[in-house]
Amino acid sequence: MATTTAQPDLTVSTSDGMVQGIVVNGVRAWRGIPYAAPPVGDLRLRLPRPVQPWEGVLDAGRYGPVPPQEPGLPSMGAGRKTPMDEDCLTINVTAPLDNAPPRPVLVYFYGGGFTIGAASAAAYDGTNLVERGDVVYVCMNYRLGALGFMDFRRYSTPERPFDVNVGLADQVAALRWVQRNIAGFGGDPENVTVFGESAGGMSITALMCVPSAEGLFHRAFVQSSAPATAYGPGLPEKWAGSLIELLGVSDEEAPNALASLPAERLVKAVGRLTRKVTPESEPGALAVAPVVDGEFLPLHPIDAFRTGKAHRIPLVIGNMFREGALFDRVQDVLPTTEERIDTMFARTEPELKARVLAAYPGYPSKHAAVDVGGDVVFWLPSVQVAEGHCAYAPTWSYRFDYAPRVAGLLGIGATHGMDTPAVFGNYTTGLGRFLTLPGSKRTTVSVGNRFRGALLRFARTGNPGLWPAYGIGTRATKVFDDTDRVVQDPHRNRREAWNGYRGYR
């Protein structure tokens, strides 16, 4: 007697209309679903607006265009042939084939310094997470660069107003979409874990301090955030003025230019601003970043975490062992030279500078300077978040020390971004393939399995397991390496030396 196999349910009703997904690599996938109105025309540089509901069934079998950005590695953002468009506010969902009881939801925010990145990037394919973790995976595009993370309010006119923090607001709109719709894809809207690396991690630590994001997610797993990367008032206005100068327009011409110039012009100007201008004038700062505007983002994230004003949800936060090494080799934007470090410390007391630099043996050697830059941007503010948040909600700290053989040969060690293949289990393309070159594959995959396991346990139970929570008394930190271990208060001498440093706050 012939048997039949139940076909997976690929048609889902959302709050805006019906969508039709596909089956790919043994999972169900819906791609390119609009979660906000196209931010074009009069909606450029404005807060996201609701989607216009559609008639019929939307074909959700292809990714939507990526946000305007400079072409880069296809595995991380936009390749040279990848379609780009300002009409980019779409969301992707991946789920197991069967409609089981509601599953935990994992929502990923991609990195890229708020200037590159895309939810369609191969590095962020969630198939392994869905299959191993029995979860529903979500990733969305959000506006980048000048179109998403700069403050042009000084150029607003009654006829052409501009909003601020529109990229962060895109993320809030996407999380609201998840709350409204994820049950239809088999996800549990009451169990949403956000995770992200680099700018994705920065997004999360900022969103934890955004009042309108409260209740939209319930746990946060933060990789290599730079939580102090939020500014205002003062610097965002200065950087907006610098961008206008780079565009070659006057202040009087700025409103029309911002409203009508091709996105490519804005992208190129942001590239010059972030790679040439701010690394020398404000070393360690990022000109495209969340803005502390007093309303959408009322407080600087570090201050919000310290005073209990951040959302009191379970948090896992950690860093790579040598965050700064990648930037010194690939994208020279951190304060990793003696000249930039001197400029960075010019706004603080000489005694504090001397104390900090004494904690880095060999300074001003290149190795020590790179560690100073990586620590001040990534490690130090992540520690400050953990020590603040642990007084109000469960908090865990980790450090990713594992470096495959090829990274050691290159002299970069466990540096920024190397945990991305680990958390996704994607080792067949891009960085993952590089990290599993001969001599390292077995250990690299094993470390990745353990790291990914911590994320999945956290999403399911609210506890990553296998290491104690962070507290001021012990500062327990899980170290992921060939052999994992727990360290109490790692780099204590450095942490104490930085005490009192406020950076650009």
Within 10 angstroms of residue 161's Cβ, the number of other Cβ atoms is 14
Helix, strand, coil abundance in the chain, percent, nearest 5:
35, 15, 45
Closest of 149, 94, 151, 93 to residue 117, by C-alpha: 149
Closest of 301, 164, 231, 203 to residue 504, by C-alpha: 231
Task: Based on the residue annotation, tell me whether 496 is a catalytic residue of this protein.
Answer: no
Q: What does the block give as tokens for 172?
A: 């809030």
Distance between CA atoms of 270 and 414, rounded to whole angstroms?
29
One of 75, 198, 224, 225 is an active-site residue; which one? 198
Task: Based on the residue annotation, tell me whether 440 is a catalytic residue of this protein.
Answer: no
Closest of 294, 311, 289 to residue 229, by C-alpha: 289
**Which sign, positive or negative, has the C-alpha torsion 173, 178, 180, 184?**
positive
Distance between CA atoms of 164 and 170, rounded to whole angstroms?
11
What phi and psi, each to the nearest 5 degrees, are found at residue 383? -60, -40
Kind of pairing, strands 17-20 and 57-59?
parallel
Cα Rg of the chain, angstroms? 22
Q: Which helix (H) or strand (E) holds 105?
A: strand 103-109
Residues facing 399 on adjacent strands: 319, 479
One of 323, 382, 387, 440 is an active-site residue; which one? 323
Give Cα 442 distance to the centre of its chain: 28
Q: How many CA atoms lie within 13 A of 407 on its CB side?
A: 27
What single-letter amino acid sits at 186? G
Closest of 296, 247, 304, 305 to residue 271, by C-alpha: 247
DSSP assignment of 111-141, as one string?
-STTTS--TT-GGG--HHHHHHH--EEEEE-
DSSP assignment of 367-407, as one string?
HHHHHHHHIIIIIHHHHHHHHHHTTTS-EEEEEE----HHH
Task: Based on the residue annotation, tell me whether 323 is a catalytic residue of this protein.
Answer: yes
Q: What does the block give as tokens for 100?
A: 């089981």
One of 300, 416, 440, 491 is an active-site residue; which one? 416
Place of tokens 């961008």: 243
Q: Which residues are catalytic?
A: 198, 323, 416
